[in-house]
Chains A and B, each alone.
Chain A
Amino acid sequence: MIRNARIGAAEVEALAAHAGLPLAPGRAAVIAPVLDAWVADANALSRKMSEERCRLLVPVTVLVHPQTDEAER
């Protein structure tokens, strides 16, 4: 199994820069432990969802048809 790299303040700052998210001083250290824990769990879920038995599953997203609703308005 691939171990997750730990996420510290430096990694948070790099990710935030990629996201175009300015972080005030000290914010990266606050975010890092939360993100580290959540990403580890999210990666575990991603491994589960990458199993062959899940190959045909489609994400729960919604496509609405606004023209139908416009007619109702």
Chain B
Amino acid sequence: MSRDQHELVSLTLTEAARLVSTREVSPVELVEATLERIAAVNPRLAAYITVFEQEAMQVARAAELMVLAGHNLGPLHGVPIALKDNVATRGARTTAGSKILADWVPEHDATVTARLRAAGAILVGKLNLHEFAWGGTSANPHWGTVRNPWNIERFPAGSSGGSGAAVAARACFGAIGTDTGGSIRLPSAVNGIVGLRPTYGRVSNHGIVPLAWSMDTAGPMTRTVEDCALMFSAIAGHDPKDATTARAPVADYMVGLGDGLAGLRIGVVPGYFFHHLQPPVHDAVRGALDRMVALGAQLVDVEIADIHGNISAQLTIESAEPSTYHQRWLRERPDDYGDDVRTLLEVGELLLATHYLQAQRYRALLRNQFMDAFRRVDVFVCPTLPFTATRVGEAKVVIEDGVEEDMLSAIMQFTGVPSLTGLPSLAVPCGFDPDGLPVGMQIIGRPFDEATLLRAGAAFQAATDFHRRAPEL
């Protein structure tokens, strides 16, 4: 009970949960330390929109009494967790990072929120994001521009930028993000943390403000793969309130984390995965693959004949569906949107129905080609995005040859594939660039085979220390 604040917030989620269960650390200590950390870093990061100071302390005191009485609610008992602010919380405002929903106070929890509470998590606050999750920078005109804790002049990516920044800055032990075109994996990569986009239908979207219904997912963002598995176990599974959730059995994701990489067949698409990258990203991901081979994995070159075209399909679907959801507000309150989101919503109204449906047919084509490839490989490994964190406020990015490119299209080069195919994908830190900014890789697996992704990621983290490094704030 004598650990200082730095020591407490530096614990992993799994360590914190274990120490609570063995009465070596109190939930009150964890929440106090987390709230102090939030107060210290949030003015610089703008990661939180709302902090539940009083409620979290009340729940922490109750959780402490329960532990002392020998009662443990679940695997997350007493651990401070935060939610992206598009996830509904009963009685607490849920803004979706917008002005339009600035005063929305839901009457019910999202299923993800309810499951975290049931597992014993203590919710400490709601995290900033790109407005309505429609964008990749988290430069939010209403709630502040989120900044990257590794360098506050750099962006945290998005749309779950607050989740990525808060986890990396030790301002919570784990966070929920949502991912349509990459919004969990991108901020995980540029903030140097782990993020899981589950198989579409594995985690309920009930109570989450939608972006694009046919691709939206929710998932955990943590500092280690083990933490990710623990949190994922708490939220995965069928939900009668969300008809798109699957009835596929939920594995115990903590089992098998130590099984290693021996015999794992890793697919790479040479003509796509290692082209159009900043050199430090190329080198870090290649180095990670070398490390995985040294640990017993095999590399298999795979051709995905129609992988080119995925960015257009992604943009078409990810603009048409939000524009449908926002149609009334776009007509009644257009000035209440930030400039970039307003433009994207207006563009989405002007695409043709045939564009949208051809993009949805392309998803079937791409998925078929990946499923065929999964006869020869167990996972795919590629970069999460082709560049490291850009300067805050940039709408363009230079990837190679000094050529400026549109940020939104460039950032989806690799994350669009799982989004379109519905395949699960795990972002794992795998290096740093010469400026000390994190690089992430993406491990893509078969439908509902998150266990293999977690096994591969855990084996990589057991042999590396990228995830143990912390930003200095």
Using a CB–CB distance below 8 Å, which chain A residues touch chain B? 12, 15-16, 19-24, 27, 30-31, 34-35, 37-39, 41-46, 48-50, 54, 57-62, 64-66, 68-69, 72-73
Stretch from B186-194, B280-288, B308-316 that touches the partner: B308-316
Closest 5 CB pairs of A and B: A59-B360, A64-B243, A41-B312, A72-B240, A42-B355
Taken together as a complex, chains A and B put the C-alpha atoms of A60 and B352 apart, in Å, by 17
- Whether A19 and B349, one on each chain, are in contact in the complex, defined by CB atoms closer than 8 angstroms, is yes
How far, in Å, is A63 (CB) from chain B's closest CB? 10
Interface residues on B, range: 35 or more
- Whether A69 and B243, one on each chain, are in contact in the complex, defined by CB atoms closer than 8 angstroms, is yes
- Whether B364 and A23, one on each chain, are in contact in the complex, defined by CB atoms closer than 8 angstroms, is no
Say whether B298 faces chain A, with CB atoms less than 8 Å apart. Answer: no
The verdict on A46 contacting B355 (CB below 8 Å), with A21-B349, A41-B315 known, is yes
- How many residue pairs between the two chains, A and B, have CB atoms under 8 Å in the bound complex? 107
Tell me which residues across on chain B come within 8 A of A43, comparing CB atoms. 355
Tell me which residues across on chain A come within 8 A of B361, comparing CB atoms. 49, 54, 57-60
- Whether A38 and B319, one on each chain, are in contact in the complex, defined by CB atoms closer than 8 angstroms, is yes
- Whether B244 and A62, one on each chain, are in contact in the complex, defined by CB atoms closer than 8 angstroms, is yes
How far, in Å, is A1 (CB) from chain B's closest CB? 16
5 pairs, CB–CB < 8 Å, chain A vs chain B? A30-B343, A31-B343, A38-B315, A45-B316, A54-B365
Tell me which residues across on chain B come within 8 A of A39, comparing CB atoms. 351, 355
Tell me which residues across on chain B come within 8 A of A42, comparing CB atoms. 312, 316, 351-352, 355, 358-359
Taken together as a complex, chains A and B put the C-alpha atoms of A45 and B355 apart, in Å, by 8
Q: List the A residue with the shortest CB-CB distance to B327.
A: A21
- Whether B346 and A21, one on each chain, are in contact in the complex, defined by CB atoms closer than 8 angstroms, is yes
Our pick among B316, B346, B355 for the contact of A31 (Cβ within 8 Å) is B346
Taken together as a complex, chains A and B put the C-alpha atoms of A58 and B364 apart, in Å, by 7
Our pick among B311, B331, B343 for the contact of A21 (Cβ within 8 Å) is B331
- Whether A31 and B347, one on each chain, are in contact in the complex, defined by CB atoms closer than 8 angstroms, is yes
Say whether B354 faces chain A, with CB atoms less than 8 Å apart. Answer: yes
Tell me which residues across on chain B come within 8 A of A66, comparing CB atoms. 243
Tell me which residues across on chain A come within 8 A of B243, comparing CB atoms. 64-66, 68-69
How far, in Å, is B395 (CB) from chain A's closest CB? 11
How far, in Å, is B356 (CB) from chain A's closest CB? 9
B interface secondary structure, majority: helix
Taken together as a complex, chains A and B put the C-alpha atoms of A61 and B320 apart, in Å, by 14
- Whether A48 and B349, one on each chain, are in contact in the complex, defined by CB atoms closer than 8 angstroms, is no
Tell me which residues across on chain A come within 8 A of B339, comparing CB atoms. 30
Say whether B41 faces chain A, with CB atoms less than 8 Å apart. Answer: no
The verdict on A38 contacting B343 (CB below 8 Å), with A57-B365, A60-B360, A69-B243 known, is no
Tell me which residues across on chain A come within 8 A of B365, comparing CB atoms. 49, 54, 57
- Whether A46 and B358, one on each chain, are in contact in the complex, defined by CB atoms closer than 8 angstroms, is yes
- Whether A38 and B349, one on each chain, are in contact in the complex, defined by CB atoms closer than 8 angstroms, is no
The verdict on A48 contacting B362 (CB below 8 Å), with A21-B330, A41-B312, A69-B243 known, is yes
- Whether B347 and A35, one on each chain, are in contact in the complex, defined by CB atoms closer than 8 angstroms, is yes
Taken together as a complex, chains A and B put the C-alpha atoms of A57 and B240 apart, in Å, by 30
How far, in Å, is B324 (CB) from chain A's closest CB? 11
Tell me which residues across on chain B come within 8 A of A68, comparing CB atoms. 243
- Whether A16 and B359, one on each chain, are in contact in the complex, defined by CB atoms closer than 8 angstroms, is no
Tell me which residues across on chain A come within 8 A of B363, comparing CB atoms. 59-60
Q: Which of B313, B330, B358 counts the most A-chain CB atoms under 10 A from its CB?
A: B358
Tell me which residues across on chain A come within 8 A of B237, comparing CB atoms. none
Our pick among A22, A35, A44, A64 for the contact of B244 (Cβ within 8 Å) is A64
Tell me which residues across on chain A come within 8 A of B359, comparing CB atoms. 42, 45
- Whether A15 and B350, one on each chain, are in contact in the complex, defined by CB atoms closer than 8 angstroms, is yes
- Whether B364 and A38, one on each chain, are in contact in the complex, defined by CB atoms closer than 8 angstroms, is no
New contact pairs (8) apart from A59-B360, A64-B243, CB-CB < 8 Å: A21-B350, A42-B355, A45-B362, A46-B355, A48-B362, A54-B361, A60-B364, A69-B240
CB 8 Å contact bits of B355-396 with A (1 = contact, 0 = none) = 101111111110110000000000000000000000000000
Tell me which residues across on chain A come within 8 A of B309, comparing CB atoms. 44-45, 48
Tell me which residues across on chain A come within 8 A of B335, comparing CB atoms. 24
How far, in Å, is A72 (CB) from chain B's closest CB? 4
Say whether B74 faces chain A, with CB atoms less than 8 Å apart. Answer: no
Q: List the A residue with the shortest CB-CB distance to B350.
A: A15
Tell me which residues across on chain B come within 8 A of A19, comparing CB atoms. 349-350
Q: List the A residue with the shortest CB-CB distance to B306.
A: A48
- Whether A45 and B358, one on each chain, are in contact in the complex, defined by CB atoms closer than 8 angstroms, is yes
Q: Which of B243, B331, B344, B357 counts the most A-chain CB atoms under 10 A from its CB?
A: B243
Taken together as a complex, chains A and B put the C-alpha atoms of A27 and B130 apart, in Å, by 21
